[in-house]
């Protein structure tokens, strides 16, 4: 499925955190799960319009792995898979 976000929106595929700790302890699926804060950019909008009517370039691109605000993006489900959609401002950093 292709996504075409509008304005400064981004579609993010959340990346699940490891289910085993560094010391080898396995965290069961029944444990309380936090909302993921790391993901991969799947689609990027064209950018927000500024006061002059010009598009501001986006700071992220498709394929970037990013850290984002825990409760910033909205969760959506398409064809049984969960995605996040949010504003560029919800992204805190690009992981290299």
What band does 71 get if pLDDT is binned at 50, 70 and 90? Answer: confident
pLDDT digits (tens, 9 = 90+) for 17-65: 656 667 777 665 555 556 668 999 999 999 999 999 999 999 999 999 9
In terms of residues, how long is the chain? 96
More confident residue, 16 or 30: 16
CA distances in angstroms from 88 to 17, 52, 58, 59, 62, listed in the order given: 22, 20, 8, 8, 13
Residue 90 per-residue DSSP state: G
The pTM for the full model equals 0.78
- The confidence score (pLDDT) of residue 36 equals 66
Which residue segments constitute the domains of the chain, with CATH numbers given? 9-14+34-95 (2.30.33.40)
């Amino acid at each position: 499925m292709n996504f075409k976000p509008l304005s400064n929106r981004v579609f993010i595929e959340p990346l699940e955190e490891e289910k085993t700790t560094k010391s080898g302890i396995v965290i069961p699926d029944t444990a309380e799960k936090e909302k993921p804060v790391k993901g991969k950019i799947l689609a990027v909008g064209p950018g927000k319009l500024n006061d002059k009517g010009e598009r501001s370039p986006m700071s992220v691109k498709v394929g970037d792995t990013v850290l984002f605000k825990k409760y910033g993006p909205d969760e959506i489900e398409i064809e049984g898979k969960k995605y996040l959609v949010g504003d560029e401002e919800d992204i805190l950093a690009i992981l290299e």
